[in-house]
Each structure stands twice: as C-alpha cells, then as structure tokens.
Homo-oligomer: A and B are copies of this chain.
Amino acid sequence: MGEVSVRRQKPTLDTVAAAAGVSRATVSRVINGSPRVSPEVKDAVETAIGKLGYVPNRAARSLAMRRTDSVALVMREPDATVLSDPYLGNIIIATSQALIGTGVQLVLVNARNDAEHSRLADYVRSGHVDGVLLASMHDDDPLPRLLLDAGIPTVVGGRPQRHLPGLSYVDVDNVGGAQLAAERLLHAGHRRLATIAGPRDMTAGSDRLAGYQRALSAAGRKADRVAYGDFTRESGEQAMATLLERHPDVDGVFAANDLMAIGALRCLRAAGRRVPDDVAVVGYDDIEMAKYTEPPLTTIHQPAVAQARTMTEILLTQIGGDPVPDPVVLPTELVERESV
C-alpha cells in the first residue's frame, strides 16, 4: 500500500531536488540547460532525474513562462468537404512534420460555424497556444482580425481577401498557375475554352478565375464561359453538365481544382465525349488522385507541403519575436499528364 502510493505519486522538481541534495532552482537550471551549474551537481541531478523518472509538468511551466510551446492549426470547413478534400490532409500532415524536432506541439482545431468560431477565439486567447495557423479561410471570416487585435502571432494560408496590415500569409500563385493552365490549353490548339470556377468568396477561387481570364485576353479571346462550383467533385460534375448544355462546342476546360476536374471527367465520359480528343481538361492542385484518373489529369501542382512548412517557419519566427515578414507567394507549376 505505502509502497504503491510512493511509486504512484509523480515526482516533482522538489522530489528531484531532495534526491540530488540540491535546491529546486538548481534542478531547474539543469533541466533548462543553464551553463551556470557545476558538472558534479549536474551529474547528480541527472542521475536523480533518471532514477525517479521525472518529467517536467507542462502546465506549470506554461504558467510560469507564459508560453505553451504549442500552436493551433485552425480549419474551417463543413464536414463533408473536410473529409473528402485531400489538400487539407496534406496541410495537416505537412504541418505536423514541420513541427517535428522543434518541441512545439500541434493542436488541431476544427471550427465549422460561427458559434464555434467565437469559442475558438476565446480558446486561443486563453493562452493555450502561442500562435495560430489558419487554413482554408472563407472571406468574411472575422478570425484573422480578432487574432491580430489580440496580439496572437498568426499566419494565414492563402491570401486573405482584405489585406490586414500586420497579418502575414503564405499564398500560392493562383493567378500564375491558372494562367499556365489556360495557356497549355491554348497551345494545344483548343479554342472554345470554358472554366469551372471555384467559390467567389475564396481568393483561391477568384484568383484562379482571374488567371484564366488573363491568359485568354492575352490571346485575344473572351473568357465568358464560366460555371461555378464549390470545389467538390459533385459540383464539378454539375458545372460541366451546365457548360455542355450552354456551350455544346466546348473543346477545353479548366477546372479550378482537381476534385471538380474529376467530376467534369465523369460528366464528359457520361456524355460520350472523349478526353482529351473531344474535350481537354486541366485541373488544379495535383492531388494524389489526379494520377489515377482516366486519363491521368494534367494539372497545376499545388505546393501544399512547402506551403505548410513555410507557414510553420514564419509562425515560429514570429512567436520568437521577429517582426511580421512580408507575404510569401509560392510558385506553381504545370504537371503534364494525359488529359490535354
């Protein structure tokens, strides 16, 4: 009984201090690698730590240091999208990998609606994390402003629609990428182009549409064949059907993401159009799945991993006290496969 309780009770700094015959402060110094500790004492303390199996308590440390050594990754999406969007999964994994070895922990926060969102703001302000990574923001989102005002280091993934001074973000060159896609279609000789655009309230959606339009107007063409989707496969299928109905002569389509491109592919197959012979298709994101479609999808590579890594690095330097850096825009590139 007594022995069990002795073993049960978690050792604290004081326990270790007593075992090593020194003061609590000295043990703390050893743990935090202070240079002002004599080697003998250091050894004694480390032996005691090993013998007792001591592990510092994070809550106590956080309280004393006003630091938590953890960051939040906030995503805001309705359930369905989240589950089927591989881009987000990549961001999550890449972020967690970027954090390995830094001693910083990742807290995943899924806020679906506004109510949850305001709770989230409280959560963050409660000091449970040192900084916030914002993924997949919609435009009207009040969160960046809230966090900025609260003085919480924040990095946004993608360009926020309204630029807030002092808010750093890591975007991907959506305009350039979409332009690349449209040019590819043009170069292949397709002339009756259409696009399946993303939601207007997300910059990724509007930027890609802008890039597409830029490429077309540079080639002296009108970009007036547009159908909108919401980045899901179903919406892409639907949008393609609309396009086919309105413009039966279409011979090339740029879809603002791969999921919608896959939907378009399916619609096209059902309509008896061959890809790429009758209609060429270019997607956007280069998700894993794009390699296995029939035909494999030509698409724009989205550097999700690099983006997550960059966001993490920027966040950590900001937490470390560095000034807010300029926004970063990562380059995109065309991945040639067989759908054009």
Write the residues of chain A forming the contact surface with B, with a CB cutoff of 8 angstroms: 10, 55-60, 62-63, 68, 70, 73, 79, 82-84, 86, 88-90, 92-94, 96-97, 99-100, 105-110, 112, 116, 122-123, 125-128, 262, 266, 288-289, 292-294, 305
Can you offer 28 A-B residue contacts whose CB atoms are under 8 A? A10-B127, A55-B125, A55-B126, A58-B126, A58-B128, A59-B62, A59-B63, A59-B128, A60-B63, A73-B108, A82-B97, A83-B93, A84-B288, A86-B86, A88-B89, A88-B93, A89-B89, A89-B93, A92-B92, A93-B110, A96-B110, A100-B110, A100-B116, A105-B107, A108-B108, A288-B289, A289-B292, A292-B292
Q: Are A109 and B116 in contact (CB under 8 A)?
A: no
A63 to B79, CA, bound (A): 34
In the complex, chain B residues whose CB is within 8 Å of the CB of A93 = 82-83, 88-89, 110
In the complex, the count of this chain's copies comes to 2
In the assembled complex, which residues on chain B have CB atoms less than 8 Å from the CB atom of A105? 107-109, 123, 128
Tell me which residues across on chain B come within 8 A of A109, comparing CB atoms: 96, 105-106
Task: Kindly state the separation between the CA atoms of A100 and B59 in the bound complex, as whole angstroms.
Answer: 23
* Nearest neighbor of A305 in chain B, beta-carbon distance: B83
Q: CB distance A126 to B293 under 8 Å? A: no
Find the B residue at minimum CB distance from A294: B294
Which residue of the partner chain B has the closest CB to A259?
Answer: B288
Distance between Cα atoms of A83 and B93 in the complex (Å): 7
Enumerate chain B residues within 8 angstroms of A89, measured Cβ to Cβ.
Answer: 86, 88-89, 92-93
Across the interface, name the chain B residue whose C-beta is closest to A116. Answer: B100
With both beta carbons as reference points, the residue of chain B lying nearest to A67 in the complex is identified as B59
- Chain B contacts for A92, CB-based, 8 A: 89, 92, 108
Q: Is the CB of A108 within 8 A of B96?
A: yes
B90 touches A126 (CB 8 A): no
Residue of B nearest to A90 (CB): B83
